[in-house]
Amino acid sequence: MTPHPVSRTILLLDIERFSDRDDVEQAYLRRMLYDITDRTLESAGIDETLRLRADRGDSVMELIEASAPVTQLLRAVLTEVPAQLRAVNRMASSSAQIRLRGVVASGWVSVDERGGWVGSDLNDACRLLDAQLLRAALRERADDFALCVSDALYAGVVRHDHTGIPKAEFHAVTVDSKNGPLPAWLHGPLPAGAADRDHGDTGAGAASGGSGVRPTPDREALGPGVVFGGAATIGGGTVSGDQNNVTGNRITGDVNMGSGGARRRGDGS
């Protein structure tokens, strides 16, 4: 039977340094992970009937019905997960400390007759969870949680700046995966050496393929490559639209370059 894809919100939580612990510690950490996940989803008002869980040993995956409010889920993940971690770790020994990486994504997932989950959106969410950038972000933080959201979820939810989901706290990043660069959004400060992917206000990484190419500047840049904004008149000839030449110069916008030099029209620059 061919599995039928359904729209789902994907939540993943993973325990840092799980394999470094012994069996007793791992069993304890798994119980804490399940407790934290359940309490977070309960605080978001997401009933068990709207969830399907898969156990990955050191992590948990939740497929959540599309009808469940994503804003409530994100608010709970941003507030309840850190609060639960603080409460647990406050009373735990050093060997029982639990720190988590998290991913929230959205997309299409199929569940086959054996209960297996398949789908490229789910694969991408798992790649975000395992990304070195997310691991580095958690290592460098004093708190115990680092969260990444998919490009699609940022564009559909986060960028609208809902109450309790401050878009200014999310940074556009591109993570490496075995299938190439993957655009995403990291909550909180970037780890050392990581670059903030340039973006517009719409989560444009998906449209640009996550290439990290910078948008055209809106002011002249005089250097090895000269950038103009607007249609250009150079020595009596006019160039309209966006043009690139073999020397690396770029012309976009309204510029008049004649005997009087260069003049930018439109913004008073």
Q: Could you read off the pLDDT of 186-234 as tens digits, one per residue?
A: 999 999 988 787 655 445 444 333 333 333 333 333 334 444 444 443 4
Domain that holds residue 249: 227-264
Reduced to 3 states (helix: H, G, I; strand: E, B; else coil), residue 235 is coil
Parallel, antiparallel, or unpaired: how do β-strands 261-264 and 237-239 relate?
Answer: unpaired
Average pLDDT over residues 23-46: 95
Note whether 256 and 166 are same-domain residues: no
Note whether 64 and 96 are same-domain residues: yes
Parallel, antiparallel, or unpaired: how do β-strands 232-234 and 255-258 relate?
Answer: parallel
Asked whether the beta carbons of 148 and 187 are under 8 A apart, the reply is yes
Number of domains in the chain: 2
CA distances from 191 to 12, 39, 58, 64, 269 (A): 21, 29, 23, 30, 36
CB atoms within 10 A of CB 252: 20
- Looking at residue 214, its pLDDT comes to 34
User: Own/partner pairs for 51-59, CB < 8 Å, 24+ apart?
Assistant: 52/111, 54/117, 56/14, 57/18, 57/30, 58/14, 58/15, 58/18, 58/19, 58/26, 58/29, 58/30, 59/12, 59/13, 59/14, 59/15, 59/33, 59/129
Asked whether the beta carbons of 128 and 105 are under 8 A apart, the reply is yes
CATH number (domain holding residue 175): 3.30.70.1230
Note whether 200 and 243 are same-domain residues: no
Note whether 153 and 248 are same-domain residues: no
Question: Token pair for residue 206?
Answer: 């998906």
Note whether 133 and 12 are same-domain residues: yes
Parallel, antiparallel, or unpaired: how do β-strands 227-228 and 250-251 relate?
Answer: parallel
Domain assignment present for 221: no
Question: What is the residue whose two structure tokens read 């580095």?
Answer: 136
Tens of pLDDT along 58-108? Answer: 899 999 999 999 999 999 999 999 999 999 999 888 888 999 999 999 999
Asked whether the beta carbons of 26 and 15 are under 8 A apart, the reply is no
What's the predicted TM-score (pTM) here? 0.73
Asked whether the beta carbons of 111 and 97 are under 8 A apart, the reply is no
Note whether 133 and 20 are same-domain residues: yes
What's the mean pLDDT when you consider all of the chain?
79
Domain assignment present for 214: no
Note whether 86 and 113 are same-domain residues: yes
Note whether 82 and 161 are same-domain residues: yes
